[in-house]
Structure 1
Amino acid sequence: MSVFLAARNPRVLLAILGALTGPAAFADDSDIALDLDAAQELAVTRQPLLEALNAQARAERESAVAAGQLPDPQLSLGVQGLPINSDDAGSFTRDSDTQLTVGFTQEFPRAAKRRLRGALNEREAQRLDAQAQLAERSIRRDTALAWLELWRFEQALLLNRASLREAEAQMQAVEIALKTSSATQAELLGARVEVGRMRDAVAGAEQSIGHARNVLSRWIGEAAFRPVCPDLPAPPLPTLAQVLERVRMHPQLASLEVQISAAQTGAELARAAYAPDWRVELAYADRPAFSEMVSVQVGIDLPVFTRNRQDRGLAAALARGDAADAAAQDALRELQAEARLNYHDSERLYERLDAYNNSLLPDSAHRVEAALAGWGAGRNALREVLEARRATLELQMTRLELQHDAAKHAAQLEYLGAYADTAETIHE
């Protein structure tokens, strides 16, 4: 739905500037109407959720570097062969086996294992990058839905206020007609009831606006209390084939593709576990009354019982790969089904809106004019005027609901990536 880049929309730039410079900037542009593009940009600017995911990705990349290094060497200090009884007890010089030792041990995991462990951390960082992109899309969609809800109630308030003004003018006309005996008491009461009903509708819309602003403030803070731009974005609907192709680039699928790669790396690491690691230990021994001694030892792992260790680890890694691949296929099917559903509903809604714009609303307006003319000429009752106006308002409200539904489907299609290559936005 929002396809303008921030650089091409001055209002978006003002909104971002307000988010970056703090409350004072919001005060400066508090009278600027908040459109959908600006609301979405504000929602993803300095968004804590996105900052947290980016920080986690940085942490994984730092861990990837550490995982590729050799383990830290180990230093050991000790006393060996110290007598604890007889006349030699506690002496460091009487027994030739007594020695003070200093040891140094270094383990050498295979380079392939260290590289693969680092690769697993890098895969996790890539997954978090994809999750951040998915979170940004979700935030944009949720912000769009919250803004559209506010827009809907704002437009409903305008319609109800216009109907209220007409009802009040009608009531005044009936009061004047009653004084000249050209209207009845029942008609006056009917006009008053209509005014009361419209006042309640205005109050209900105002209450809904307050609720919607508080919901929107979850994403954009105080900017949610700015005036709302009356223009509703209506991006051109691409073809279904284009939508289904663009869905394949969805961040959710990218995240699952990274999990498949991570499972493949895990399988390579499981295969590398069959190859033994080794270690070297160097020790120096000081015997105060005898000669000094040096020892060197080499240790190596013996992966000879692989049936319930390495074999199981490899099988588990391969199973995780199968699970990730199946999850990716299922996610693609789900996203494409969602794209088809939203695309189908969008087409039908646009067709229904055309019917309202081209026939239903014009005919309803003509009905109101005819009813007013007939009532003024004394050919029909006030009831017909009220019914005509009520029917017109109902049609206007239905059209508003259709616009709102179409915009919601457009927001969902934007989340799915349907407008990824769209260069401009068309406004009604």
Structure 2
Amino acid sequence: MKACKYLLLLVLGAGVAIVNAKTVHEGLTLNEAVDMAIAADPWLTGSRHTQAALTDEATAAGTLPDPKMSLMAANFPVDSFDINQEAMTQLSVGISQMFPRGDTLALAQRKKLELALQQPLLREDRRARVTATVAQLWLDTYNAQESIRLIEKDRALFEHLVDATQASYATAVGSARQQDVIRAQLELTRLEDRLTTLRQGQETAQMRLSEWIGSRAGDRLAAALPTGSPAGPVPTQGSEQERYELLNHHPTLLALDKRIEATETDIELARQKYQPEWGLTAQYGYRDRDPTGRDRADLFSVGVTFDLPLFTANRQDKDVSAAIGHAEALRTEKQLLIRRLMASLETASVQLARLDERYALYIDRLLPQMAEQAEASLAAYNNDDGDFAEAVRARIAELNARIEALAIAVERQKTIAQINYLLVRASSDAAQPMQDF
């Protein structure tokens, strides 16, 4: 009987040693995954093309419209079509040029440039979003991978445990009972089910990660969990003004400012419609000699055209009012975006503080206590002062605690990734017209 219990002690002790052994496996790191995702992101390429297109459109928008040329044969007599029969007959060539209202050209060019300047800011926001998204997916995959590793180590322990209890029960020398054998087999089956569930979660996370990094998503991840920290101060109970100061340089807010500037330019463009549009026309007419051979003078004409914006109530006034309404709507959208970012930062900050507390509790107290409980239950069973089920439950509780501590550590890093996205600040040269080209 003592021999079987000592065998059980060796099996459990070996399992603890295996679990506590630290092995480092090289694999795909979080930074590598983020770099690959950003390098392969087609949205960034599309944004560069959009910026180039808007810059070209700005040049075109600031240019006068093409002049128009006319060629005309005027006042030909229909009886003979003779060019010198009538004094009115002439061949004329004319050219006309339109001049848009007020500062329309300069304002149209400015609007396009303001929209172009939005793109570098949107690209910075996109990189930050991709970093946060890939971090979430990488950490989901890591959590499943490392949970599987922990359980597989304990699976070997429970396999040995099943063999030990079966041997003790079969020889009738030890104190193992049939229910101990069944309990050991049941716990092993439960571990298999947990492994299957975790593998399903790992494969799902890998498929989602493959959207960003392709086939590398199936690689084994680095065994070490990244030890990132927030990119800036995290206000846990700061005022609303403090949170705003942390967020007011976020690329997505500055990009929205560029859109607001463009809509304000639209207001100025609408106001230009109160001014007339001018046109200049010049025409030269050639006349042939008269029937007696005398020269006729050629003719030159010049004229100016302009419209009269007199009835403005249903056109110009409404255009200005509509442009103002669009600008105010965007300002409202900015207020909503600021509220959403501030609420997200506050939520993530509180969550990080609580996760730090829980992780410290697990590392400093709960895991050591679970290990002591498992050892005490095993010692009691070996001294005929405890039962097999209690020893197994203690061992499973320790395993669950380690998995939960891993989940807390992973969730902490996911929260830090979200906070880092919220605290990202636009670089000083992000508004350069052709930055990143």
Q: Same fold (TM over 0.5)?
A: yes
**1:203 aligned partner:** 196
1:156 partnered with 2:147:
yes
**Unaligned regions of 5+ residues in structure 2, if any?**
1-24, 291-295, 428-437
**1:51 aligned partner:** 45
**1:232 aligned partner:** 225
After superposition, give the CA deviation of every residue in 1:38-79 in whole Å (9 maximum; x if it has no partner).
Answer: 211111114211110111011101111111111111112233
User: Which letter maps to 1:188?
Assistant: V
Distance 1:328 1:147 in 2: 31
**Unaligned regions of 5+ residues in structure 1, if any?**
1-30, 422-428
1:265 partnered with 2:256:
no
**2:372 aligned partner:** 366
One of 383, 386, 392 as aligned partner of 2:392: 386
User: Which letter maps to 2:159?
Assistant: E
Cα deviation for residue 146 of structure 1 reads: 0.9
Q: Which moved more, 1:55-64 or 1:74-83?
A: 74-83
One of 104, 107, 124 as aligned partner of 1:113: 104
After superposition, give the CA deviation of every residue in 1:170-227 in whole Å (9 maximum; x if it has no partner).
Answer: 1122123223321112211221222222123223323322222121110111222222
User: Which letter maps to 2:158?
Assistant: A
Instruction: Assess if the C-alpha contact under 8 Å between 1:243 and 1:418 holds in 2.
Output: no
Give the SS at the match of 2:305: strand
1:357 partnered with 2:363:
yes
**1:249 aligned partner:** 249
User: Which letter maps to 1:284?
Assistant: Y
Give the SS at the match of 1:308: coil
**1:346 aligned partner:** 352
User: Which letter maps to 1:119?
Assistant: R
1:190 partnered with 2:183:
yes
What's the RMSD between the two structures over aligned residues? 2.2
Cα deviation for residue 377 of structure 1 reads: 2.7
1:143 partnered with 2:134:
yes
Cα deviation for residue 125 of structure 1 reads: 0.8
Distance 1:32 1:400 in 2: 19
Instruction: Assess if the C-alpha contact under 8 Å between 2:283 and 2:301 holds in 1.
Output: yes
Structure whose CA Rg is larger: 2
User: Which letter maps to 2:33?
Assistant: A
Instruction: Assess if the C-alpha contact under 8 Å between 1:32 and 1:226 holds in 2.
Output: no
1:310-321 aligned within 5 A: 310-321=316-327
**2:420 aligned partner:** 414
**1:178 aligned partner:** 169
Distance 2:205 2:326 in 1: 44
Distance 2:69 2:426 in 1: 58
User: Which letter maps to 2:142?
Assistant: W
Instruction: Assess if the C-alpha contact under 8 Å between 1:413 and 1:419 holds in 2.
Output: no
User: Which letter maps to 1:96?
Assistant: A
Q: Which moved more, 1:152-161 or 1:131-140?
A: 131-140
Cα deviation for residue 372 of structure 1 reads: 1.7
Cα deviation for residue 391 of structure 1 reads: 1.5
After superposition, give the CA deviation of every residue in 1:315-369 in whole Å (9 maximum; x if it has no partner).
Answer: 2222222222222122111111110011011101110111111111111111111
